[in-house]
């Protein structure tokens, strides 16, 4: 195999939120690692020169939460197609949900996911282990074996761990193995049968509603369990002001409570389902404008620890159904950065703070070395033009899944290139 050439990025705007770096300069990569960066680096003999033209060079994005079709639903998406979409979105590390078919409740399946990620050459896949066998919410999985096999943390994916005793055990076991439990915060008996946020719009459209309190009730219960067990609970795709208030209070108390949200919950509100638009049918459902604004405020004040794509691929036939019968979920890999930058252009977030939510903050949560531009760190990088305009068009997105809730959305902020361990994988 031909040895990798050194690569030097010149005329870049280097942003590393972990180090508070935001300055023009160059960055040198050798053998897959960041060697040096600064304002006056010489160009090594034989190095590949990447002219950045003033574009932002930042750590590759770390996606804390994404569902993949493989294994079991390759007709929706394969790992290969997901890796293509991730590279186009600047994502170099992705945490894969375990509620696949079969569920990731077996050490061999976790190792399969890790190997499949390595085989792409462009994406590290960090699988969650199933918190319960089959993600059925009943019997606790073998946390020790799954952790040893590479489980980054534990979750039942898009299903809430509904029984309090089961969640208590999961938090206790996760603490013993130095990790955490990711919860889908929705009280299932309240949410059962619902497809939209309960309220005037759902009533007018004749759609069964899910009360926003279903989210806050599950958060309140699991905060109490975190206090009881001293375990770490992480709430996924938080979407309501009431839940965020509870999480903010739990953090102030010093409990091991963290959370993420996803772009739909700070960029869209329930009106996006308008005319029974199934691409905007998500789980949790889109909320009222007051909740969207509360999510934006929680991003700005640090209550929310990360922004995840919440990628949920769907086959077109799963979406071309009456709203109540259509599958919930939206694709989000290629649009993760662009939608996040919309909050920068809207002056809700500073650019460095927005990037922190996509890089060093999820890296810290997961205990990863990536997510920063430090010397000796992996050369997982994204180069993007924060001002370049483009339009989201379902059917023209990279990868197999096209069910974007942002279809038709005009954005500013385009990925120009992505590098994994120093190798260019997009652009």
Give me the active site residues, please: 310
Beta bridge partners of 426: 418
E strand or H helix at 249: helix 241-253
Residue identified by tokens 């089959």 is 134
For residue 350, the Cα-to-chain-centroid distance in whole angstroms is: 19
Asked whether the beta carbons of 17 and 352 are under 8 A apart, the reply is yes
Which residue, among 154, 69, 143, has the nearest Cα to 113 in the 3D structure?
Answer: 69
Asked whether the beta carbons of 375 and 297 are under 8 A apart, the reply is no
| Token pair listed for 273 | 């389902």
| Token pair listed for 24 | 């023009």
Asked whether the beta carbons of 391 and 408 are under 8 A apart, the reply is yes
Which residue, among 15, 9, 29, 6, has the nearest Cα to 375 in the 3D structure?
Answer: 29
Asked whether the beta carbons of 215 and 186 are under 8 A apart, the reply is yes
d(CA 210, CA 141): 30
d(CA 75, CA 347): 40
| Most distant pair of Cα atoms in the chain: their distance | 68
d(CA 214, CA 218): 7
**DSSP symbols for 387-420:** EEEEE--TTSSSSS----TTTT-EEEEEEEEEEE
Task: Provide the 10 A C-beta neighbour count for residue 71.
Answer: 17
**DSSP symbols for 23-78:** EEEEEEEETTEEEEEESS----TT-EEEE-TT-EEEEPEEEEEE---TTT-TTT--
């Amino acid at each position: 195999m031909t040895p990798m050439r050194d690569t030097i990025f010149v005329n870049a705007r280097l942003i590393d939120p972990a180090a508070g770096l935001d300055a023009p300069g160059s960055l040198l990569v050798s053998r897959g690692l960041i060697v040096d960066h600064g304002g006056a680096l010489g160009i090594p003999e034989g190095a590949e020169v990447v002219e950045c033209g003033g574009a932002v060079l930042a750590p590759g994005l770390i996606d804390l939460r994404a569902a993949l079709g493989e294994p079991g639903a390759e007709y929706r998406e394969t790992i290969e197609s997901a890796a293509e979409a991730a590279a186009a979105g600047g994502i170099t590390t992705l945490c894969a949900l375990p509620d696949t078919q079969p569920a990731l409740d077996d050490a061999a399946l976790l190792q399969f996911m890790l190997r499949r990620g390595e085989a792409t050459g462009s994406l590290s896949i960090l699988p969650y282990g199933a918190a319960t066998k089959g993600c059925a919410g009943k019997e606790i999985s073998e946390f020790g074996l799954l952790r040893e096999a590479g489980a980054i943390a534990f979750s039942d994916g898009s299903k809430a761990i509904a029984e309090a005793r089961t969640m208590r055990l999961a938090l206790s076991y996760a603490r013993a193995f130095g990790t955490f439990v990711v919860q889908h915060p929705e009280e299932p008996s309240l949410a059962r049968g619902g497809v939209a946020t309960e309220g005037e719009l759902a009533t007018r459209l004749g759609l069964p509603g899910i009360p926003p309190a279903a989210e806050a009730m599950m958060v309140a219960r699991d905060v109490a369990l975190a206090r009881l067990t001293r375990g770490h609970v992480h709430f996924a795709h938080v979407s309501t002001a009431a839940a965020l208030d509870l999480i903010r209070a739990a953090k102030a108390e010093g409990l091991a409570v963290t959370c993420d949200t996803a772009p739909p919950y700070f960029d869209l509100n329930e009106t996006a389902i308008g005319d029974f638009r199934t691409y905007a049918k998500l789980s949790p459902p889109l909320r009222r404008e007051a909740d969207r604004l509360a999510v934006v405020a929680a991003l700005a004040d640090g209550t929310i620890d990360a922004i995840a794509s919440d990628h949920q691929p769907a086959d077109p036939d799963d979406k071309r159904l009456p709203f109540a019968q259509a599958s919930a979920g939206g694709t989000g890999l290629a649009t993760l950065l662009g939608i996040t930058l919309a909050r920068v252009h809207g002056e809700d977030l500073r650019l460095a703070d927005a990037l922190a939510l996509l890089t060093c903050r999820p890296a810290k949560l997961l205990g990863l070395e990536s997510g920063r531009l430090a010397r000796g760190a992996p050369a997982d990088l994204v180069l993007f033009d924060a001002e370049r305009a483009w339009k989201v068009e379902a059917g023209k997105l990279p990868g197999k899944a096209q069910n974007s809730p942002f279809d038709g959305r005009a954005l500013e902020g385009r990925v120009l290139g992505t590098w994994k361990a120093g190798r260019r994988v997009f652009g």
